Structure 1
Amino acid sequence: MSLLFKHFRIHQIFGANTDVGKTILTTALVRASASVKKTSTGPIEDADDEYEFSLCGSLRRRLNTVLYRFHVPVSPHLAAQIAAGGEADKIVPDDTFLNSISSYVRRNASRVSGPAHLYLETAGGVHSPTLSGVTQLESYRPLFLPTILIGDSRLGGISATISAYESLLLRGYIIDAILLFRDQYYRNSEFLTPYFAERGIEVTAVDAPPPKAVDAAENLASTERYYESVNLLPVVQNLDLRHQQRFAELDSMPRRSIDTLWWPFVQHGLVKSETDVTVIDSASSDFFSRPASSLESQLDGSASWWTQALGHAHPALTLAAARASGRYGHVMFPQATHAPALLLAERLLHDGPGKGWASRAFFSDDGSTAMEVALKMALRAFSVRAKLEGTERKALGVLGIKGSYHGDTIGAMDACAEEGVFTCEWHNAKGYWFDPPTVSIQEGRAINDYRMNPTNSMSWVYDLTGRLDSPLAQVYREYISHTLDGLERSGGPRLAALVLEPLVMGVAGMVFVDPLFQRILVDVETGAGLPVIYDEVFVGLYRLGMQTPDISVHAKILTGGLVPLAVTLAFYSTNKAEALLHGHSYTAHPLGLIEKEVRSEPWAAAKARWESDGTPSVMWSLWDPRFVKALSCLENVAEVMALGTVLSIKVRDDQAGYTSQSAQLLLQSIRSTDHDMESFASSGVPPFSVHFRTLGNVAYFMTSLNTAPETIRTVEDKIWKALGETKRTSE
């Protein structure tokens, strides 16, 4: 929703406090520009925007509109409640409020052909509530407009101005200028000017206006004389320069990036032009803002490589990180503790994924490191249990599933089969990996590789109750036992741990392994005395139908993707010889786990959609089951799976695997905005494109835990339009 146009310079005006002169200083600015004010409160005859009309009525280039007006001079949220008679459903929600602003700005941007200016003035201070009761800083953040801060010239104004600036800064706002009245007694501007100069922001102080005259004609003449004495042209010129510099920076970034960056997981030879580079100007909630002819909203369809659990720039996460940085900075962790790390460990062990089995939490920084820790733990545990000595410990291997991915560090790579593109010269695969039976939705039906599913219900596949004694379970047991017996007879590696990605193998191409197979595999190897490691970096903090492991690894969403943090949960020993002698500089960065809201109305509605005849489904997703089933019936789709926030689509292609470009090409159209203003007005969903990742002929989409249902429905429509040209006759 961010608004940025080359020919249409927009600035949002915040106040450090109420009654600091926002409207007066905005009026001084609009004598060379155009102005729009968003919200006004108070009686019509006393409204400062009406006063502004009378002052600037001769400026024909100026746009001046109040989008919401309330007659009671109180905070906007109270004024809205009073106007609504206390009825909550009559109060304008934030998304409607922002959409009306966005629509107004876009309409006016399309009407002007040459350079023009627009100011959006807020009401009260930076933390004054909006109509819905959310503070203005939070509500207006999706617009991400360059900001002018009106400082406070009164007693206490230095503190108020700096506090307002830091509040804006914490939420990512770009502050281009600070204006305030000049006061000869408090002289706040004399302190603030060098203070903000160190931060690259110019402070401009102007004389305060004369008192309002009783006589209307004299008041008008006096006010006009005042504005003639105020010269803010240098400020306007500086704002224009910063606007131009911002576009110059955005325009130059693709070429500079191609010339200097080595991107992860990118074949640089395929980056043919600057248009292949996605420049991200900012991010908020589920959306990136990327420059096109103006700023374009692009849905982060991969949850930023699976890290974004609550969306980008989440205010609670931002403040938690700032609080941790301000209180601790970096602290060493051996034999030390601090409250955030301790509380997180207790939460993970007692209420989270370690509940009932884990006794210790080992913090590190990322999934690969956490897996290295887990492997060290498991190999040491097996060596102690089997009483291995010397070189016997060096010949140990792991048992896993083909296609597994546990990170890019050497040890984590060695726990995976040497296949595909995720390998290097030092990669020395140590172990054995099963070909996994998978599950998917094909032609509208739930299918597993053995075609032994007696129903069409995917919920049945994930509900292991009663399936452990099924014919398919027996097939799996015999297959696993026969394979392991043959491996032992042939002199294969001695297996010391079972390493699994529960339910979904992400990098392998969103492979949904039959949970019954994994459960049988865990049962067999637990009986054989092998430690079991669950790599839950991708699947998150939730398991479904799986036995508890000996060690589990978690990362990415622990901090909502804001800073690196990982944890390995396991048993522990008091024997010093069995100690885990592993450490990391950023052990236990004190951010903590952000509690996820999983009892929301959208989640309840999503679960209800996956019910069958009123029976709750063990397996469910935020993606609509009717959409998933219909998609699986398309001619160009091989199979589809949805689970939780993930949607995976395998495109039919004879050249399957990472070398395939089919998924990328078929879905290319959703990377551009296909909503016009009419559809925006009718649907209430602002136009956006979709950023997504492909794994060869597999495209996957991930939402946040709190992505709006209407956003998900819009993405479903986009995918359907891109893929749904031909349907199977069996649909």
Structure 2
Amino acid sequence: MSLIERDSKVIWHPYTQMKNALPHIPIVRGEGVYVFDENGRRYIDAISSWWVNIHGHAHPYIAEQVSAQLKVLEHVIFAGFTHEPAIRLAERLLPLLPGKQAKVFYTDNGSTAVEVALKMCLQYWDNRAKPKTKILAFKNAYHGDTFGAMSVSGRSIFTNAFNDLLFDVEFIDLPNQDNIERLKAQILKLKSELACFIFEPLILGSGGMLMYEATYLDELLAVCKEVEVLTIADEVMTGFGRTGTYFACEKLENKPDIFCLSKGLTGGTMPLGITTCTNEIFEAFLSDDKLKTLYHGHSFTANPIACVASLASLDILLQSETLQNIKRIEARHAGFLKEIKTHPKIKTSRQTGTILAIEWVTVGETSYLSNLRNILYTYFLDKGIILRPLGNIIYILPPYVISDEDLDYVYDAIRSALDEI
């Protein structure tokens, strides 16, 4: 029995209508920017396997570090105990983050990092006997699939079945020159109720790779700071170089109170989530009253192997060669975008850092459910490229090790698709 047949008997895949799903391709190994199926066919992973793989698959340095840690300590409960990899990762990461981040709280993934951030903010105000419970977020945001993360995400097909169970959130448009004053006034009006403002800086990922300017986000953060509304930067996708700087919030003058990190954190090796905060937030939980404790944790909190993978990934990220690759991809994307943006089949196109997005002109549904999605997806798979469209929006978000030759191959495939589909 083939792997595809075995898979169909026992596996339920994410974001997939299993009744009419396309066959799932069995991948048996990875190397650099490539993954290989059971027949030996090679695919360019142009979306970094859901945005996690920043240094390439099966990176030998990360593998060596993880292997060594496996022989020392695979895991230990993180309540009442600690270990060197978790301490070292926090010591190295905090100075890299914009602003005055002081404490690291470990979780398992991006959604749980967001859950912790929301709980920190809500309980912060409760602990200070100034309860504020309303949360501000962007309309088309996506922050994860757990209930708190869904609540602060824009209402969409991802949340439809659960909308009546999600807590109330104040949603606002992405800021721009035309609406910034109105949005600032909205924050001022709600200031006594708002516990926090959560945002994806510069790019809304799953919402369609929607991009906006740092200048206007800065203005919103300034107002939040003025009226004591805590701010949460969800850098799960944008962190670790994706926007051209190590973190998207480096492009802001006003820094957030809390960061949420995951995806590229371990170089795509394994799950790990991090929520960081300022000392001001941390100190609101210090008390002789045990009810002021942050009661949150996971069985695999601060897993030593995942922490070591993250340390190895940081080693690679901070090499000058990696930053050069980020700048190279950024420049190549910009050149390609300039060339094709006037094509009649392109409705909109945009780029931030190593992320390039192209919205196809289509008749009918233009959302995640667009029929064009499967047509584009299979077209690129046939050419040995993994590009997973968000409906009629195609995006390139590659590992930093991708070569110019492979980028050219992806660009050429997009040119062909524009002419043929």
- Please give the range of the TM-score, normalised by the shorter of the 2 chains: 0.7 to 0.9
Distance 2:180 2:412 in 1: 42
Instruction: Specify whether residues 603 and 424 from structure 1 end up closer, same or farther in structure 2 by C-alpha distance, changes over 3 A only.
Output: same
Question: Given the alignment of the two structures, is residue 643 of structure 1 paired with residue 352 of structure 2, yes or no?
Answer: yes
Distance 2:326 2:55 in 1: 17
* Structure 1 residue 663, shift from structure 2 partner: 4.3
Equivalent position SS for 1:517: helix
2:244 aligned partner? none
**Structure 1 vs Structure 2 CA RMSD:** 2.4
Question: Given the alignment of the two structures, is residue 658 of structure 1 paired with residue 368 of structure 2, yes or no?
Answer: yes
1:717 aligned partner? 412
Q: Match for 2:287 among 559, 569, 575? A: 575
Q: May I ask how many residue pairs the two structures share in their alignment?
A: 398
Distance 2:352 2:154 in 1: 26
Question: Given the alignment of the two structures, is residue 540 of structure 1 paired with residue 239 of structure 2, yes or no?
Answer: yes
Question: Given the alignment of the two structures, is residue 431 of structure 1 paired with residue 169 of structure 2, yes or no?
Answer: yes
Equivalent position SS for 2:197: strand
1:459 aligned partner? none
Instruction: Specify whether residues 598 and 647 from structure 1 end up closer, same or farther in structure 2 by C-alpha distance, changes over 3 A only.
Output: farther
1:376 aligned partner? 119
Instruction: Specify whether residues 319 and 663 from structure 1 end up closer, same or farther in structure 2 by C-alpha distance, changes over 3 A only.
Output: same
Q: Match for 2:141 among 404, 428, 436? A: 404
Taking CA–CA contacts closer than 8 Å with sequence separation of 6 or more, which of the two structures ends up with the larger relative contact order? 2
Equivalent position SS for 2:184: helix
- Contact 2:322/2:400, CA 8 A, preserved across alignment: no
Q: Match for 1:700 among 392, 395, 399? A: 395
**Residue type at the aligned position of 2:48:** A
1:419 aligned partner? 156
TM-score (normalised: structure 2): 0.87
1:82-481 alignment, distance < 5 Å = 252-271=2-21, 276-291=23-38, 294-350=39-95, 352-353=96-97, 356-385=99-128, 387-388=130-131, 396-425=133-162, 427-437=165-175, 472=177, 475-481=178-184
Q: Deviations over 1:19-72 (max 9, x none)?
A: xxxxxxxxxxxxxxxxxxxxxxxxxxxxxxxxxxxxxxxxxxxxxxxxxxxxxx
Equivalent position SS for 1:299: strand
Distance 1:420 1:517 in 2: 28
**Residue type at the aligned position of 1:480:** L
Distance 1:402 1:420 in 2: 13
Distance 1:358 1:314 in 2: 29
Equivalent position SS for 1:621: helix
Q: Deviations over 1:189-216 (max 9, x none)?
A: xxxxxxxxxxxxxxxxxxxxxxxxxxxx
* Structure 1 residue 384, shift from structure 2 partner: 3.7
**Residue type at the aligned position of 1:698:** I
2:243 aligned partner? none
- Contact 2:204/2:211, CA 8 A, preserved across alignment: yes
1:629 aligned partner? 338
Q: Deviations over 1:307-334 (max 9, x none)?
A: 1011111111112222222211211112
* Structure 1 residue 402, shift from structure 2 partner: 0.7
1:684-699 alignment, distance < 5 Å = 689-699=384-394
* Structure 2 unaligned residues grouped into runs of 5+: 241-246
Distance 2:325 2:148 in 1: 43
* Structure 1 unaligned residues grouped into runs of 5+: 1-248, 438-449, 451-471, 610-619, 674-688, 727-731
**Residue type at the aligned position of 1:715:** V
Distance 1:307 1:624 in 2: 19
- Contact 1:603/1:622, CA 8 A, preserved across alignment: no
TM-score (normalised: structure 1): 0.51
Equivalent position SS for 1:270: coil
**Residue type at the aligned position of 1:434:** I
Distance 2:326 2:231 in 1: 33
**Alignment identity in percent?**
30
Equivalent position SS for 1:694: coil
**Residue type at the aligned position of 1:305:** W
Q: Deviations over 1:428-482 (max 9, x none)?
A: 1422111215xxxxxxxxxxxx6xxxxxxxxxxxxxxxxxxxxx3xx54421134
Instruction: Specify whether residues 667 and 332 from structure 1 end up closer, same or farther in structure 2 by C-alpha distance, changes over 3 A only.
Output: closer
* Structure 1 residue 336, shift from structure 2 partner: 2.4
* Structure 1 residue 628, shift from structure 2 partner: 0.8
Q: Deviations over 1:319-374 (max 9, x none)?
A: 22222222112111124222111110001112x11x54011111111111111111
